[in-house]
Amino acid sequence: MFEFIHHVRILVHDADEMAKYIEDKFGMTPEKVQVYEARGMKNAIYKVGQTNVEFTEPLDMDSAMGQYLKTFGPGPYHMAFGVTDVEGKSAELAARGTGLRGENGLSRSAEGYMTANIDAASALGFPFQLAEVHDRDAMVDYIRQNFGMEPDDLNVIEGRGMRDALYRAGETLIEITEPLDPESGIAKHLADHGPGVYHVAFGVDNVRQVSADLAAKGNLMRGEGGVTQSPRGYTTANIDPESSLGLWFQLAEG
């Protein structure tokens, strides 16, 4: 059912400041920066492969997004999966007993495309969105029953205190992760936030050089030499949020 990651919404305190940071550190400019008065938000939108990455500044701090930002700080808010025939997919999900939000399970985004939004109460607490997790195995069963998809791989990573289910959606690797160590950072995030997007990693070539370039631009980098090795063998560079307006950027190679 999922064809690619349609978009990722990341909440920030100031969309303009984030756009300046990204241009200065990564040399990227947004496709557009736009205020949506009716939605009470301002977006800086970037195209990364097939995916739109939306850095969203809530303009109404009493809105759901504003309250989330005040409570949890900058970070991922939700992720939408690209599908064809979103109306048909919405009807299929409703027929399977899935709770949907909006009229007939559909709503129109600020950009004009249609979305289907699954009520988190029907999806193990995770707010799935389709656009034109506490228990890994339960989530795998949910995805199988509702979306007809099997994981590409299932792993238990003892050294990191977690287990995950891996899915491919277009060029993107989706990791459904269950913390096994209640004292780990991931477990504490899950306890505080509930199921949701933990972080987004951006693909780059020559991550060690990119990490060195970012350090030269004044970024604090986590890990020895600014890079770390993931449990699946690829190398990542992690920018300390203190350097990036409170947002955790991760870059991945391989």
Instruction: For residues 133-156, give the mean pLDDT.
Output: 90
pLDDT higher than threshold 70 for residue 75: yes
CATH pick for 134-198 out of 3.30.390.30, 3.10.180.10, 1.10.3720.10, 2.60.120.460 = 3.10.180.10
Question: Which residues, listed in sequence order, are joined to residue 238 by a DSSP beta bridge?
Answer: 222, 250
Q: Supply the pLDDT for residue 38.
A: 87
pLDDT for the residue 210: 93
Q: Angle 80-113-63 (CA atoms, 0-180°, nearest 5)?
A: 65
Nearest C-alpha neighbor of 4 from the set 175, 174, 249? 174
The dihedral sign for the CA sequence 121, 65, 201, 111 = positive
**Strand runs labelled E in the chain:** 4-11, 32-36, 41-48, 51-58, 75-82, 100-108, 114-118, 129-131, 153-157, 162-169, 172-179, 201-203, 221-229, 235-239, 249-253
**Using CA atoms, how far apart are residues 9 and 126, in angstroms rounded to an integer?**
15
pLDDT at 133 over 80: no
When mean pLDDT is compared across 71-75, 135-139, 174-178, the lowest value belongs to 135-139
CATH topology of 134-198 equal to that of 199-254?
yes
Please, which pLDDT band fits residue 238 given cuts at 50, 70 and 90?
Answer: very high
Distances (CA, A) of 118 to 67, 132, 137, 165: 21, 15, 19, 20
pLDDT of residue 214 exceeding 90: yes
Q: What is the mean pLDDT of residues 32-41?
A: 92
Domain boundaries, the chain: 134-198, 199-254
pLDDT of 211 over the 70 cut: yes
Fold of 199-254: 2,3-Dihydroxybiphenyl 1,2-Dioxygenase; domain 1 (3.10.180)
Question: Residue 254's pLDDT is what?
Answer: 65
List, for residues 164-209, the tens digit of each pLDDT value: 999 999 989 999 999 988 888 888 888 888 899 898 999 999 999 9
Q: How confident is the model at residue 112 (pLDDT cuts 50, 70, 90)?
A: confident
96 closest CA partner among 149, 150, 145: 145
CB 194 within 8 A of CB 124: no
pLDDT at 41 over 90: yes
At residue 102 the predicted structure's pLDDT band, cuts being 50, 70 and 90, is: confident
Higher pLDDT among residues 53 and 85, named by residue: 53
